[in-house]
Amino acid sequence: MEKLVSLAKRRGFVFQSSEIYGGLGSVWDYGPLGVELKKNIKERWWRSMVHEREDIEGLDAAILMHPKVWEASGHVAGFTDPLVDCKHCKNRFRADDPRIKGTPGQPDGQCPACGTKGTLTAPRQFNLMFKTFMGPVEEQAAVIYMRPETAQGIYVNYLNVLQSSRQKVPFGIAQIGKAFRNEITPGNFIFRTREFEQMEMQFFVKPGSENDWFERWRTERMKWVEGLGVRPEKLRWHQHGKDELAHYAADAYDIQYEFPFGWQEFEGIHNRTDFDLKNHQQHSGKKLDYLDAATNERFIPYVVETSAGADRTTLVVLCDAYREEAVKGEDGADKEEQRVVLKLKPSLAPLKAAVFPLVNKDGMPEVARRIYDDLRRRLNVFFDDGGSIGRRYRRQDEAGTPFGITIDGQTSQDQTVTVRDRDTLKQVRVANGQLVEYLKEKLAT
């Protein structure tokens, strides 16, 4: 994991937030390559959920919502972790922290930070929502929350979307947006953070048909994940046991990936029943039921939710693409050398190609610049004329750039360039005039 974190910083994928001030705990910033990679993943999700389906609409709800939303949703009462405090060193831990020896609240309970015995409090429930104040007065009545999931913005807009889009149940609403959780044990880079992005879709169905839709969405989501190019043997399902289910869920399956720190969830499919809509109807006093015009039945729809983390999915893609391998003779020399390469699916790669003049003379830089300027209007490409060609390849391997285009002595004679494939290292000569077509075809997957 350290190697990936260091590559992510070196190549401009992910930086620690506020690094010059010593960093802000478990908050991360995406650099020039990271923002492209995450955007490509989000766009792929949006395309498959919203553009390619006629039964799903998009939404972008605000992060700040009426505080009653979180009472109705059960998050004020139930979105908690049991925590213990050390009265001596003032540190706070999850009650199930495996480093705690003895029983918190008892004389044998030992603080994992300062080692003092008997100073840990008995577990208390700690709410994970960030609070802030709206308006000029910082008082209890002005408290609002930073949303801990994007789903609620969908539920409170369900009727607006239904009526304005003229959809009929079954139908879905999809949204990508930030969520915030004051996690007590965050960590593992961008795996568990306090500010993160979710890609969520709530599918509204007739009661009684939820199990069928649940299975359909499980199949769809696994297909989508495999479409990211992730190795199938690194993916598996995990069904939540009764003690793992969130307060709103009747059934839940996680898609897990085998990260360097073990199997962990990065997407969940949840049967949320009519829990959320029923509670919003009750708390708001507004009718949220649906009239089925075909049967004249009225019902509150059940919801099947697909909930993916954009950051965690980005981490899956990065972990899966990271390889160290030996390659031979790319710098003219015949010796083997180690390379680090991100074997990203070309359509997800932040940079699609890098353009290199072989040497900085004989008109090569000028031709290379012209080719780069032409490509730049259609694809995200990079120009690099610094260092040996081998070192330039290595830098782009680490960035996951699928193609390297080299302008060499032959270019001025026959208007062709070499195109090097990141994964096979094979080079082919392609006519300048056909370069865009050639790359677009290869990048289509």
Q: Which residues bind ligand GAP (CB under 6 A)?
A: 149, 151, 181, 183, 192-193, 196, 198, 200, 265-268, 305, 307-309, 311-312
CB of 180 to ligand GAP, least distance (A): 9
Residue with tokens 């999700």: 45
Distances (CA, A) of 57 to 66, 154, 197, 208: 23, 10, 19, 23
> What tokens does 219 get?
């199949």
CB of 200 to ligand GAP, least distance (A): 6
CB of 243 to ligand GAP, least distance (A): 15
Smallest Cα–Cα separation from 222: which of 343, 312, 306? 306
CB of 306 to ligand GAP, least distance (A): 9
Q: Is 272 or 420 the residue whose CB approaches ligand GAP more closely?
A: 272
Sorted by sequence, the CB contacts under 8 Å of residue 257 that are 6+ apart come out as 230, 234, 235, 263, 264, 266, 316, 319, 320
Sorted by sequence, the CB contacts under 8 Å of residue 12 that are 6+ apart come out as 31, 32, 33, 34
Contact 177, 151 (CB under 8 A): no
Q: Is 33 or 151 the residue whose CB approaches ligand GAP more closely?
A: 151
CB of 61 to ligand GAP, least distance (A): 13
> What tokens does 265 get?
């969830």
CB of 17 to ligand GAP, least distance (A): 13
Q: Is 72 or 353 the residue whose CB approaches ligand GAP more closely?
A: 72
CB of 196 to ligand GAP, least distance (A): 4
Q: Is 29 or 423 the residue whose CB approaches ligand GAP more closely?
A: 29
Q: Is 271 or 416 the residue whose CB approaches ligand GAP more closely?
A: 271
Q: Is 30 or 196 the residue whose CB approaches ligand GAP more closely?
A: 196
Q: Is 266 or 322 the residue whose CB approaches ligand GAP more closely?
A: 266
